[in-house]
Structure 1
Amino acid sequence: MDYSLHARIRAGDPEAFRELFRAHAQLVFRHAVRVSGDRSTAEDVVSLTFLEAWRLRAKLRDEGETPRPWVMGIAVNVLRNTARAARRHAVALTRLPAKDTVPDFVDELVGRMADAEELAAAGRALRRLRRGERDVFTLCVWSGLSYSEAAQALGVPVGTVRSRLSRTRTRLRALAAEELAAGRRGPYERRGPYERMEPVGGSGQEQGGRTRAARSGEETDR
């Protein structure tokens, strides 16, 4: 197997790093967008990932046909550090006067999911997963890494990736359904596409598409 690219990266060959960036920058960006839900954060993650790759170039080993697992392993760690920094920043912001919120771009960038409610529920469910489950799911399902590549990226056995992904799919479906149901509950309950919203537990009872309270009002007017 030809490991010339690996050797050139370890040697600090600028052209080899340009090849590495061209081959994997978009993959890192898409992964970071889906995990963080923010385009600006994803751009920072790409920059930090390849800066780390340059710093850690001597640790690239001759494993596999491509350095993709190595790059994505670095990206996963960068995302973890970025998330911790974001949480610290959010805590700091709570001490400042409230400002108008700026909408994120997750629906635009991950627009293949047509239902915004389902997307939001899936995002909330994903955040409820354990870190190891979330990493395996995002690498294998969202970023298309094979079991062996994900195992290399995360530093775990292939069997762990397989079992963890299977368990995570089942758990994520249940959590997403739970989050979707919770998001749709509230002071009003959806009756049908052309019927008005009725308060949950309200005094009016529907009968023939109209409430008994409304009918009583009409009889009083006669």
Structure 2
Amino acid sequence: MTITPICDRELWERACAGDPESFGAIFDRHSRAVYNFLCRRTASWAEAEDLTSAVFLEAWRHRSAVTLDRDSALPWLLGIARNTAANGGRARRRYQALKERLPTPSPVPDHAQDVADRLDEERALVALRASVGRLPAHEREVIELCVWSGLDQQAAATALGVAVGTVKSRLHRARRRLGHDLREYAPSCPDRRVIAEETS
């Protein structure tokens, strides 16, 4: 049994109705002919590939204005290709000028490593919080103010309503208590590094 292929007109009507697969079928059917035409016009395979993409992008944008010739979209596509090739020099110059103005893109980060690092930091932070949570309340307060919140000892003293010397002695004792526990954890938590440096 012979299956009659769907004509361009029907595919195009489906594409205009919002069916991208029908437009894909048009592309599959005619892209080689468009590419060959552009190869001959430009004498450059690479340029022909770029322009072929531009032709079909333009065709998609103006799909409602297609003019079919005996149910074939190829003549209309080649007309777009001709205009695209003629304008290619100006388009390439505009593209190159824009490219030169844009900053060089940064390398794409390794998201898998980033996720792993963040999980490590979260685990270290949980362990650190547990260790700090075992401190007496008055020592935990100075760690939270001086180390986690970045206050100096005078500001912490004002916040707590105590003398600066009291904050200093509490902070010293807290650092001594935390020193052993902190050395057990991977040094991935920024807070831990601050405390570890001060306990060494």
With the shorter chain as reference, the TM-score category is 0.3 to 0.5
Larger Rg: 2
| Larger RCO (alpha carbons 8 Å, 6+ apart) | 1
